[in-house]
C-alpha cells in the first residue's frame, strides 16, 4: 500500500516538509501548488528533490473552478488547465485534483460538467495525465461524492476519475457506504482526514480543524472500508488542514500521520477480512491488564523524602535490587520503584526533571507483540546496557521521553521480580491501597492529540471526549483513556499556559510526564483514617465545598461530616458513587490521589477538579509566605 500525505499537512518550507515526510516513512506526497510556488526551485528541481527523498508525487493539487463555466470563462479555464499540465509534466506527476467549483458564474448542470470533463480528458490523455474530480463539501453545485461520481460516469473517459475525501463525505453526514457502488478503477485517489465533531461552517471546519484519522470523531474507518471494498488499491493519502499542525513540529506531525494511517489500515483490514490488501500483518491492539510498576528517578534528600511519603501512604520496602541502587516498595498490587542510579536512564531523567516518574511497567498478554506493533506504528525504541543477570524487558519511549516497559507471563519475563530483587522483610499490612487506578500525565495542549493517538493506536483503549478543567488561572484540557478491560486508565492533561497548576508543573519539571498517581482502596473511610494516623497530610478542602455537596446530593449528615473531616471529595454518576482524597505535594511537585469507586462509577471526579486545583494553589501560596 502506498502511503501518502499532502504537503499542506505539515509545517515548514517545502524542503523541511519533505524531510519530515520522508523520515516518517511515507512513500508519496500530494504536492500543494502553493508549497511548490513558494519554493525557489524550478519545477524540474522540485520534482528531483522530492524523488531524492525517496518520495513520489502521487498528486498535484488543487485545480479550482473548472467545470460549468460559460463562454470566455470556459475557454480560459481550459487554458489554465493546459498550463498546469505543462507544470505537472516538469514536476513528474500524472495525476491532478480538480475540486468542485465555487465560481460565482458556474452554471451547474450535471451534463454540462460531464462534457467539460470529457473534453478535458481528451486533452489530458494527449499528455498521459489523469484528472480526479473531488466534491468539496461547500461546492456551489457539486458538494456530494455521489454527484461528482455521476459527472465522472457521464464524462466516460479513461483519463477522468473520482477523488474521494473522507472529510467532505463524512463532514456532510453522507453515508460512506454509498462509495461501495463506485467501481474501484474509477476512484483515482483517496484522501483521508478526521475532525472533531463541532457544529460550524463546513469550509471553516475543514480548513482549520481537520486532524489525523483516529484523532477526531468521524467514521474514517467505515469510509476507508467502503473504499477498499470497491477494489481500489491506489495510494492512501492524508490531507490535513489544521492550525495547530501548521505551527507544530513537522517531524512529530508527519510521524503521527504515518502512525494514524498504519493504525487505520490495520483496522480496515481486520474489519474487511474478505478484501485482499497489501498490508503487513500487525499484532492486534494490545489489551493492557494492569500497571505492573511505577518507577521514580530520585536521589539524596529527595529520595529520602519520597521514602517517607511512601511509608506514610502505607507502602513497605519489600525488595532491594541485586545490583543497583534501586528499591522495590509494595502495597496491595501496587509496585513502586525508587531508582537512585546516578548514570543510567533514571540518572539522566533525575538530572533533567528532578524527582519524577521516569518509567512505567504495563502488564500485557505478549510483551514481544506489543513492541512489534509499537515499532510498526513508528514508536521510538530504547535500549541501555544490561547489568549482570538483569532481564531484558521490552521497552519503548513514552511521553516526555519516559519509558514504557511491557511485562507478560512468559518464561523470560514472569520471574523478573524474584530474579532482580532480593526480598526485604517488611510489614505489608498497609492502609488498604489495592491497585493503581490511573496515572495523570501532563503535556502541552499541542501535544495532546499526539499522545492520545499514541495510546489508542497501540493499546485497545477507549477515550472520553476532551473537556475543560477550570484552573483559577486558565483552562486545562483533559481527556481520560481507559483500557477495554477497565484495568488500565490514564488521564491526559494539556496545559496552555504556565500559570495553571498543570502548566507550572510542566515548566518547573522541564516536561516530567506524570503529575499525579491515583490509587484505589475498597474502603475510603478506613483508608483515610489509617492515613491520618500515619501523619498523611491531605489537601484541605473548603467548607463551601461541603455545603454545596449537601445541597446537590442527599448524603447522610454523619457521612458528610466525616468526609469534611477527612477532606474527602465526592461525585456520582448513573452507575455509582466516587470518593477521592488528594495528598499535598510530594517531591518533584507530584501528588497522590486515593480513591474509591463504588458500583461501577466510571469517571474521575471531574466536577471536583476546579476546587481541588484552587485548594492546591492556595496551599502552595501559604507555604511560600514568609513566616514572620
Ligand atoms: O479547502 C480546500 O479548498 C480544499 C482543496 C483541496 C482539497 O482536496 C480539499 O479537500 C479542500
Ligand atoms: Mg480533499
Q: How far is CA 181 from CA 84, 155, 185, 609, in A?
A: 31, 17, 12, 50
CA of 14 to the centre of ligand 2 (A): 19
pTM confidence score: 0.94
CA of 166 to the centre of ligand 2 (A): 8
Helices (H) and strands (E) in the chain, counts: 21, 25
Of 168-177, 365-374, 479-488, 619-628, least confident by mean pLDDT is: 619-628
Q: Which atom of ligand 1 approaches the CA of 134 most closely?
A: 8
Q: What angle do CA 11, 17, 18 make, to 5 degrees?
A: 170
Report the alpha-carbon distance of residue 279 to residue 32 in Å, rounded.
Answer: 27
The pLDDT tens digits of the residues spanning 25-84 come to: 999 999 999 999 999 999 999 999 999 999 999 999 999 999 999 999 999 999 999 999
Which of 31, 33, 62 has most ligand 1 atoms within 8 Å of its beta carbon, as the pocket-test mutant?
A: 62
Do residues 389 and 323 lie in contact, with contact meaning Cβ atoms separated by under 8 Å?
A: yes
Q: What is the pLDDT of residue 126?
A: 98
Q: What residues sit around ligand 2, an ion, with C-beta below 5 angstroms?
A: 165, 191, 239
Q: Which of 560, 556, 567 shows the shortest CA–CA distance to 532? A: 567
Q: What is the pLDDT of residue 626?
A: 53
Q: What is the pLDDT of residue 627?
A: 46
Q: Is the pLDDT of residue 472 over 90?
A: no
The pLDDT tens digits of the residues spanning 537-558 come to: 999 999 999 999 999 999 999 9
Q: Is residue 191 annotated as involved in ligand binding?
A: yes
Q: What is the pLDDT of residue 137?
A: 98
Q: Which atom of ligand 1 approaches the CA of 165 most closely?
A: 10
**Concatenated DSSP letters of 563-623:** HHHHT-EEEE-SS-EEEEEEBPPBGGGBEEEEEEE-TT--S--GGGHHHHHHHHHHHHHHH
The pLDDT tens digits of the residues spanning 368-389 come to: 999 999 999 999 999 888 887 7
Do residues 29 and 55 lie in contact, with contact meaning Cβ atoms separated by under 8 Å?
A: yes
- Rounded to the nearest 10°, the torsion over CA 31, 79, 139, 132 is -50
Q: Which of 516, 329, 533, 335 shows the shortest CA–CA distance to 431? A: 533
Q: Which residue puts its alpha carbon closest to atom 11 of ligand 1?
A: 136
**Concatenated DSSP letters of 55-96:** -EEEEEEEE-S-TT--HHHHHHHHHHHHHHHHHHHHHT--EE
CA of 265 to the centre of ligand 1 (A): 23
The ligand minimizing its distance to the Cα of 100 is: 1
Looking at the DSSP assignment, which residues form a beta bridge with residue 596?
Answer: 579
DSSP 379: P
Residue of higher predicted confidence among 579 and 390: 579
Do residues 549 and 571 lie in contact, with contact meaning Cβ atoms separated by under 8 Å?
A: no
Task: Give me 72's grid cell.
Answer: 470566455
DSSP 477: E
Looking at the DSSP assignment, which residues form a beta bridge with residue 357?
Answer: 296
CA of 137 to the centre of ligand 1 (A): 9
Do residues 129 and 81 lie in contact, with contact meaning Cβ atoms separated by under 8 Å?
A: no
Question: Across all residues in the chain, what is the average pLDDT?
Answer: 95
Q: Which atom of ligand 1 approaches the CA of 6 most closely?
A: 8
Q: Is residue 103 annotated as involved in ligand binding?
A: no
The pLDDT tens digits of the residues spanning 290-328 come to: 999 999 999 999 999 999 999 999 999 999 999 999 999
Q: Is residue 353 annotated as involved in ligand binding?
A: no
Supply the ipTM of this predicted assembly. 0.99
What is the arithmetic mean of pLDDT over 343-367? Answer: 94
Report the alpha-carbon distance of residue 234 to residue 231 in Å, rounded.
Answer: 9
Q: How do beta strands 403-407 and 433-444 pair?
A: unpaired
Q: What is the pLDDT of residue 86?
A: 97
What is the arithmetic mean of pLDDT over 596-611? Answer: 95
Report the alpha-carbon distance of residue 383 to residue 404 in Å, rounded.
Answer: 12
CA of 191 to the centre of ligand 2 (A): 6
Which of 4, 34, 136 has most ligand 1 atoms within 8 Å of its beta carbon, as the pocket-test mutant?
A: 136
Q: What's the distance, Cα to Cα, between the start and end of the chain in Å?
A: 71
Q: What is the pLDDT of residue 478?
A: 93
Q: Is residue 323 annotated as involved in ligand binding?
A: no
Q: What is the pLDDT of residue 625?
A: 59
Contacts of 578 (CB under 8 A, 6+ apart): 570, 571, 572, 595, 596, 597, 598, 601, 603, 605
Task: Give me 554's grid cell.
Answer: 442527599
- 65 Cβ inside 6 Å of ligand 1: no
Of 86-95, 167-176, 439-448, least confident by mean pLDDT is: 439-448
Q: Is the pLDDT of residue 585 over 90?
A: no
Report the alpha-carbon distance of residue 577 to residue 565 in Å, rounded.
Answer: 19
Judged by phi (left if over 0) then psi (alpha if -120 to 50, else beta), residue 296 lies in beta
Do residues 197 and 242 lie in contact, with contact meaning Cβ atoms separated by under 8 Å?
A: no
Report the alpha-carbon distance of residue 229 to residue 181 in Å, rounded.
Answer: 9
Which regions of 85-141 does DSSP assign to beta strands (E)?
Answer: 95-99, 130-134
Q: What is the pLDDT of residue 287?
A: 96
Which of 59, 134, 243 has most ligand 1 atoms within 8 Å of its beta carbon, as the pocket-test mutant?
A: 134
CA of 167 to the centre of ligand 2 (A): 7
Q: Which atom of ligand 1 approaches the CA of 207 most closely?
A: 1
Share of the chain above pLDDT 90, in %: 88
The pLDDT tens digits of the residues spanning 211-237 come to: 999 999 999 999 999 999 999 999 999
CA of 242 to the centre of ligand 2 (A): 13
Q: What is the pLDDT of residue 490?
A: 96
Do residues 140 and 111 lie in contact, with contact meaning Cβ atoms separated by under 8 Å?
A: no
Share of the chain above pLDDT 70, in %: 99
Q: Which residues of 227-259 are buried (b: 16+ CB within 10 A; e: fewer)?
A: bbbbebbbbbbbbbbbebbbebbbbbbbbbbbb
Do residues 59 and 91 lie in contact, with contact meaning Cβ atoms separated by under 8 Å?
A: no
CA of 164 to the centre of ligand 2 (A): 7
Q: Is the pLDDT of residue 624 over 80?
A: no
Report the alpha-carbon distance of residue 584 to residue 592 in Å, rounded.
Answer: 8
Q: Is the pLDDT of residue 628 over 60?
A: no
- 134 Cβ inside 6 Å of ligand 1: yes
Amino acid at each position: 500500500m502506498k502511503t501518502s500525505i499532502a504537503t499542506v499537512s505539515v509545517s515548514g518550507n517545502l524542503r523541511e516538509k519533505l524531510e519530515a515526510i520522508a523520515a516518517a516513512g511515507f512513500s508519496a506526497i500530494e504536492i500543494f501548488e502553493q508549497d511548490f510556488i513558494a519554493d525557489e526551485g524550478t519545477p524540474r528541481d522540485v520534482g528531483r528533490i522530492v524523488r531524492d527523498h525517496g518520495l513520489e508525487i502521487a498528486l498535484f493539487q488543487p485545480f479550482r473552478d473548472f467545470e460549468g463555466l460559460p463562454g470566455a470563462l470556459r475557454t480560459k479555464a481550459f487554458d489554465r488547465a493546459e498550463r498546469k499540465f505543462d507544470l505537472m509534466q516538469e514536476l513528474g506527476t500524472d495525476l491532478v485534483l480538480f475540486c468542485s467549483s465555487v465560481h460565482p458564474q458556474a452554471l451547474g448542470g450535471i451534463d454540462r460538467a460531464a462534457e467539460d470533463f470529457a473534453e478535458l480528458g481528451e486533452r489530458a490523455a494527449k499528455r498521459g495525465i489523469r484528472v480526479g474530480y473531488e466534491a468539496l463539501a461547500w461546492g456551489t453545485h457539486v458538494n456530494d461524492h455521489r454527484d461528482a461520481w455521476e459527472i465522472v460516469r457521464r464524462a466516460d473517459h479513461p483519463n477522468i476519475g473520482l477523488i474521494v475525501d473522507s472529510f467532505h463525505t463524512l463532514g456532510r453526514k453522507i453515508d460512506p457506504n454509498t462509495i461501495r457502488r463506485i467501481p474501484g478503477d474509477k476512484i483515482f485517489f483517496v484522501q483521508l482526514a478526521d475532525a472533531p465533531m463541532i457544529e460550524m461552517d463546513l469550509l471553516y471546519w475543514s480548513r482549520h480543524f481537520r486532524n489525523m484519522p483516529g484523532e477526531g470523531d468521524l467514521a474514517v474507518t467505515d469510509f476507508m472500508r467502503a473504499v477498499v471494498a470497491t477494489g481500489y488499491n491506489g495510494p492512501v493519502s492524508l490531507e490535513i488542514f489544521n492550525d495547530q499542525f501548521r505551527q507544530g513540529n513537522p517531524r512529530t506531525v508527519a510521524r503521527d500521520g504515518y502512525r494514524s494511517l498504519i493504525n487505520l489500515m490495520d483496522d480496515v483490514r481486520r474489519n474487511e477480512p474478505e478484501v485482499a490488501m497489501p498490508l503487513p500483518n500487525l499484532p492486534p491492539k494490545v489489551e493492557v491488564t494492569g500497571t505492573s510498576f511505577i518507577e521514580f528517578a530520585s536521589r539524596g534528600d529527595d529520595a529520602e523524602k519520597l521514602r517517607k511519603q511512601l511509608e506514610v501512604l502505607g507502602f513497605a520496602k519489600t525488595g532491594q535490587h541485586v545490583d543497583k541502587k534501586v528499591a522495590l516498595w509494595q502495597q496491595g498490587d501496587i509496585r513502586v520503584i525508587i531508582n537512585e542510579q546516578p548514570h543510567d536512564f533514571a540518572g539522566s531523567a533525575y538530572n533533567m526533571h528532578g524527582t519524577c516518574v521516569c518509567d512505567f511497567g504495563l502488564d500485557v498478554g505478549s510483551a514481544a507483540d506489543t513492541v512489534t506493533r509499537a515499532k510498526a506504528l513508528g514508536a521510538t525504541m530504547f535500549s541501555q546496557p544490561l547489568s549482570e543477570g538483569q532481564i531484558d524487558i521490552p521497552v519503548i519511549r513514552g511521553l516526555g521521553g519516559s519509558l514504557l516497559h511491557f511485562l507478560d507471563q512468559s518464561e523470560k519475563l514472569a520471574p523478573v521480580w524474584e530474579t532482580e530483587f532480593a526480598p526485604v522483610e517488611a510489614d505489608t499490612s498497609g492502609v488498604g491501597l489495592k491497585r493503581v487506578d490511573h496515572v495523570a500525565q501532563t503535556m502541552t495542549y499541542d501535544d495532546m492529540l499526539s499522545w492520545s493517538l499514541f495510546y489508542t493506536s497501540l493499546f485497545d483503549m477507549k477515550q472520553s471526549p476532551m473537556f475543560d478543567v477550570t484552573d483559577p488561572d486558565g483552562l486545562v484540557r483533559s481527556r481520560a483513556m481507559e483500557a477495554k478491560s477497565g484495568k488500565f486508565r490514564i488521564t491526559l492533561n494539556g496545559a496552555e499556559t504556565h500559570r495553571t497548576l498543570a502548566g507550572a508543573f510542566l515548566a518547573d519539571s522541564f516536561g516530567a510526564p506524570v503529575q499525579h498517581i491515583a490509587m484505589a482502596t475498597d474502603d475510603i473511610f478506613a483508608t483515610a483514617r489509617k492515613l491520618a494516623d500515619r501523619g498523611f497530610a491531605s489537601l484541605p478542602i473548603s467548607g463551601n465545598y461541603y455545603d454545596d455537596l449537601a445541597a446537590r446530593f442527599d448524603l447522610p449528615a454523619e457521612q458528610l461530616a466525616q468526609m469534611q473531616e477527612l477532606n474527602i471529595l465526592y461525585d456520582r454518576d448513573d452507575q455509582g458513587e466516587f470518593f477521592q482524597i488528594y495528598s499535598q505535594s510530594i517531591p518533584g511537585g507530584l501528588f497522590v490521589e486515593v480513591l474509591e469507586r463504588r458500583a461501577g462509577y466510571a469517571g474521575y471526579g471531574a466536577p471536583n477538579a476546579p476546587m481541588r486545583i484552587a485548594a492546591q494553589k492556595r496551599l502552595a501560596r501559604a507555604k511560600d509566605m514568609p513566616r514572620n
